[in-house]
Every structure is written in structure tokens, then in C-alpha cells.
Amino acid sequence: MELKDMYGNVLVGTVTDLNKDEAFVQIEGNTFALKLSELNEIPELGDEMAGFVYENQSRKNRMTTNLPGVLQGVWDFAKVTEVRTDLGVFVDIGLDDKDIVVSLDDLPLEHSEWPKKGDTLMVKLVIDHKGRLWGKLADLNIYMQLMRSANLEDKNKNKEATVIAIRNSGTFVITEDYYLGFIHQNEQDGPMHIGQHVTARVIGSSHRRLNLSMKPRAYEEISPDAQMIMAVLEHARDGKIPYTDKSDPDSIREYFGISKGSFKRALGNLMKQGKIEQKDGYTYLK
């Protein structure tokens, strides 16, 4: 087997040398350095060792017994560590001294839709004809094989999810509990990008997937009147004002410039969200 064909595989070799930090494992005439700190006991010369072999960032042959979560034919999530518009994005698959590139050919044409540092991508390992390791980005077909069939037991519940594909009509996501979700463009709260983490609410289901919304529930929307009351409370001494839903309508209109009905609706909205409370003739900021 040629050296380039070894990279990215789990192979067995023989320990041919040792120093205080590393064991040197030979496989078909090629030597790979293995950190002794990975092992429970120091091997002896002639012992056989198995591990994942690769060329690190410094172009040195390495072996590790700590297998990366992403392998050939094994999909897993990996965190983005760097973005290069001329190359693609680098992801951490669990190797101490090497990150893997997801090629720009796998990414959207629009750079605004590319993953950002800290985002997560589902990838598997692929090896090109030169023995270079790359991350292959999962497409919708892969997620279709992994997903669970959606139901409406979780309707109105929030789901944590990761953006996996962007279309003109909306965005596909995979939830943390492996439901495929779709967020229509009218239900998004702004531009989206691959790998982005979002929180979205279940509003329905279709085609075995969840329909989600990032828009707040009706009672979570803060009206201009409620925003004004919050601003007054935030600047008030001790975070309280001597006005409640029992206050005189004329006093409310004189101080806030709105009707008592509007004032009560705004207070009710804020109390339902747990932002304020009323007691002893005062409204308090919680």
C-alpha cells in the first residue's frame, strides 16, 4: 500500500522505536509517530499498535488511538474553526494537530450563506487521489435517511436546530432530536447561513418533517405601549412606578399619553411574559 493510500484509515503497525514522548510505529516501511500520553502503558519494541493514521498540519506522519468522530463512511457533527473564501471552511474532527477542509465546491455560491466560525456541520471524511483528507458536507438526502418521522406531539414547543440547507422558499434544519424541519422564509427572523444554530417553534408538520417558525408567539410580541412602559420602569427609581391596572384613566393618559385600555393590555402582555408584577399600588420590574 502506498503512503497516500494509508492516510485516513485505521491501520495496524509495529513499534520500532521509542523516546520519552512518542512511539514510532512502522507500517509497510512508513513510520508514524504516536503520543505516549494516549496510552495506558508504554509499549515495547515489536509490539503491534492500531490507530488512525494521517499527515498533520506540519506534513508529518502521525498515528492516534483516539479515533476522530468523523471517518470515511461515518457522518458526525464537527465545529467550524476557520473560514477561507478561497478554499472553504476548516472543521475540527478531533485531531490535535490538524483540521479538515470542507471545500467551497460543497458550499453555497453566496458567501453570506457560508458557515461561520463556531458553527457546526455534519460531515464525513473523504480522501482524494493524493491522499489528502477532506470533509464532505452532508446533503438533504443524508438527513432524510437519519431523520425521525415528524408528529404534532411537540406542537408549540421550541426546538434547538442547525441549518443544513437554504432554498428560495425557506430553510431546512435538523433538530437536536433528529427531526427534519423547514422554516418558510416568512417564518424566519432574518438571513440564514449553513451551520447556524437556531431556536424555532413547531407550528405543524408535513412530508414527515416539522414546520417551524422563528417568529415570536403572539403573547411574546411586545407592543410599542409595552416597550414604553418597560423603558419607564428601567429608568425608574427602584424599578417601580405608582401606576397599575387599577389606576385612574386620566392619570394614565396624562403620564403615558395612552388610554387606560391600552395601558391594561400592555401590562397584561408584560405580566404574561413575567417581565413585571403588580402589588400595593405599584408596578415593579422583575
**What residues of the chain score a pLDDT lower than 50?**
none
Confidence (pLDDT) at 3: 93
The pLDDT value recorded for residue 83 is 97
**What CATH number is associated with residue 164?**
2.40.50.140
Do 237 and 268 fall within a single domain? yes
Tell me the pTM.
0.73
Q: Which of 173, 195, 213 is the last residue of a domain?
A: 213
Asked whether residue 57 falls in the same domain as residue 91, the answer is: no
Rounded to the nearest 5°, which phi and psi values hold at 76?
Answer: -160, 165
pLDDT for the residue numbered 219: 54
Instruction: Give residue 220's pLDDT.
Output: 61
User: So what's the pLDDT on residue 221?
Assistant: 65
Is 50 a member of any domain?
yes
Q: What is the pLDDT of residue 207?
A: 84
- Identify whether 245 is part of a domain: yes
Tell me: do 59 and 116 sit in the same domain: no
Q: Which residue has the cell 471517518?
A: 71
pLDDT of residue 222: 73
Establish if 253 belongs to a structural domain: yes
Position 115 scores a pLDDT of 98
pLDDT number for residue 97? 94
pLDDT tens readout for residues 232-243: 999 988 899 999
Q: How many domains does the chain have?
A: 4
CATH number at residue 18: 2.40.50.330
Identify the domain boundary among 163, 190, 213: 213
Range of the domain at 273: 222-285
69 in a structural domain: no
Where is the domain boundary, 138, 161, 183?
Answer: 138
